[in-house]
Amino acid sequence: MIKTVNDLTDFDPIFIRYDIKIAPKKRAASDVSTDPALQAIAKGVVEGDEDMVAEASKAAIASKGPQTVIDTLILGMAEVSKLWDDGVYYLPQVILSSDALMVGLNMAEEALGSAVVKKGTVVMHCAHGDIHDIGKNVAAALIRANGYKVIDLGSDVPEETVVKAAKDNKADLVTGTALMTTTMSAFHRVAEGLTKEGINIPVVASGGAVSEEWVTSWDRGVYATFAKQGPEMAGDAASGMSWEDMRAKWNLVL
């Protein structure tokens, strides 16, 4: 007998085939926490489940505080990265996961609040050609919550736009994030642009593709490993610390 759509009772194989529904994982993600409340946040990120992340984050913000929630969201995304690297996840799953992470991050950022008096101004961006903005968003949330004005230029930002924003806003610090080897070279052009404009401020560069050795090979570059370093780095720059001194403080390669 010929089957028609009316004979179908199980649509899952079709939804999964077209990535409308996520397939059961070929390899389960590792647990990132022994605490069930935190594990639920990471699980929600891994499964791209915004509701799960929202519910778990709400409870954990109240019981453990927003910073712990942010740390757990990043750990969840690290599991997503492993699933991607192993070929278990494809773009649709990763997009769902990053959207779910943003739900938790926005809730945590709101809970962190921010000081009314601004301690300084930080211009942040993802490199020209690069749309990977998760780490930048986490760092921006932390820097903002610590009382700095953040001019977030978003993703795929041309070098001239970054330099102009730094000039127009009298920035104390420029930060850049790149996750692709093809995009990270934009940072040293940003640094050169600042020099041409006579703007003598540090450029903190970070992201999966970026190495400390590379960042410290051009003037103004200071390498960051973790988003949570952002507020202290912003404080250093706002207090007038030179990029040379910041590099000596934060980086091993001189």
The residues of the shown chain that bind ligand B12, judged by CB under 6 A, are 74, 77, 80-81, 84-85, 91, 94-95, 98, 129-136, 138-139, 175, 177, 179-182, 204, 206-209, 224, 226-227, 229-230, 233
Cβ proximity to ligand B12: between 13 and 245 the closer is 245
Q: How far is the CB of 104 from ligand B12 (least distance, A)?
A: 13
Please name every residue paired with 151 in a beta bridge, in sequence order, or none if there are none: 123
Helix and strand numbers (H, E) in the chain are: 11, 5
Cβ proximity to ligand B12: between 129 and 158 the closer is 129
Q: Which residue is nearest to ligand B12 (CB)?
A: 135
Contact 230/237 with Cβ under 8 angstroms? no
Q: How far is the CB of 2 from ligand B12 (least distance, A)?
A: 38
If one counts every other C-beta atom within 10 angstroms of the C-beta of residue 37, the result is: 17
Residue type at 237?
Answer: A
Q: How far is the CB of 55 from ligand B12 (least distance, A)?
A: 22
Cβ proximity to ligand B12: between 12 and 99 the closer is 99
For 85-97, letters b (16+ CB in 10 Å) and e give: eeebbeeebbebb
Q: How far is the CB of 176 from ligand B12 (least distance, A)?
A: 7
Element (H, E) at 81: helix 66-85
Q: How far is the CB of 221 from ligand B12 (least distance, A)?
A: 12
Q: How far is the CB of 95 from ligand B12 (least distance, A)?
A: 5
Cβ proximity to ligand B12: between 181 and 195 the closer is 181
- Phi/psi for 204 (5° steps) reads -85, 125
- Comparing CA positions, the residue from 69, 56, 98, 64 lying closest to residue 81 is 98
Cβ proximity to ligand B12: between 56 and 134 the closer is 134
Nearby residues of 132 by Cβ (< 8 Å), 6 or more positions away: 126, 155, 177, 178, 179, 180, 207, 208
Cβ proximity to ligand B12: between 163 and 184 the closer is 184
